[in-house]
Every structure is written in C-alpha cells, then in structure tokens.
C-alpha cells in the first residue's frame, strides 16, 4: 500500500525507499513530456524507463483483452514506429524492430504469484 500511495502521491518518496522504482515510476513518461506522473521529457527519462515503455506498449497491444482481440505484432510495430515521433525513444524502437525482424519473436509472460516470489527470496 505504501508503494501504491507513494507512486500516486509522491514519486520521490518511493524512489528514496526503492531506488530501482525510479524506472517503474518513469515508464509512463513520454518523450514529448505528455506522460505522467512527472511530465518528464527527452533525456530526463531514464533509458530503462524508455525501454520499459516500448516493451510494455508492445506486449499490451499484442495481448488479448476482454474488450478486444490481440493485435498482430506487425501492426503493433507499425503503430509504435509511428508513435515514436513524439512518444517513444526511436533507438529503443529500432532495437525492438531489429529483434522482431529476426523472426520467431514473441512475448513470454509469466506472472509470479506472491507465494512464488516469497519462495525465491
């Protein structure tokens, strides 16, 4: 609850407790400054957060949702390339495009339960 409250209320509090959380806090930032919660732009966004933003968008769009079917990876990549003009790091988009173009690329999703994560510690 503290983490959720901190992200919503004060990202600096979360970052001081969990330094790696800075990436998580920033991944909704967009290069043009239109993201949230901090309205960061360009190189003020961590590279890790820029990578996470592109990967998250691609994975989200290629996954089926209750309100829509999954979108093809080719269509998703086209949309992300077009959006990279304002929203995404073009070098990150190029890197993902390169991986996809090699073929046999797919997202592997494994959700870790609380019990699994506690057992790994």
pLDDT digits (tens, 9 = 90+) for 27-80: 889 999 998 888 999 999 999 999 999 999 999 899 888 888 989 999 999 999
| Cα 112 to chain centroid, rounded | 18
Q: For residue 84, what are the CA distances in angstroms to 31, 91, 93, 98? A: 8, 9, 7, 15
At residue 110, the 3 state secondary structure works out as coil
Closest CA to 42 of 91, 87, 81: 87
d(CA 77, CA 84): 10
Which tokens belong to 103?
């073929």
DSSP 8-state assignment for residue 68: B
Task: With a cut of 70, say whether residue 105 has pLDDT above it.
Answer: yes
Asked whether 80 and 93 are in contact (CB, 8 A), the reply is yes
Which tokens belong to 107?
């997202």
pTM check: above 0.95: no
Domains of the chain, start order: 2-120 (1.10.3210.10)
pLDDT level of residue 107 (50, 70, 90 thresholds): confident
d(CA 78, CA 58): 10
């Amino acid at each position: 609850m503290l983490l959720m409250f901190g992200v919503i209320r004060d990202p600096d509090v979360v970052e001081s407790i969990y330094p790696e959380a800075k990436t998580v806090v920033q991944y909704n930032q967009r290069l043009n400054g239109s993201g949230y919660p901090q309205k960061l732009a360009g190189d003020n966004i961590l590279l890790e957060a820029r990578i996470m933003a592109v990967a998250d968008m691609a994975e989200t769009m290629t996954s089926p949702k209750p309100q829509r079917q999954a979108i093809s990876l080719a269509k998703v990549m086209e949309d992300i390339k077009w959006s990279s003009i304002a929203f995404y790091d073009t070098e990150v988009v190029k890197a993902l495009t390169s991986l996809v173009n090699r073929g046999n690329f797919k997202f592997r999703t494994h959700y870790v339960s609380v019990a699994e994560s506690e057992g790994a510690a």
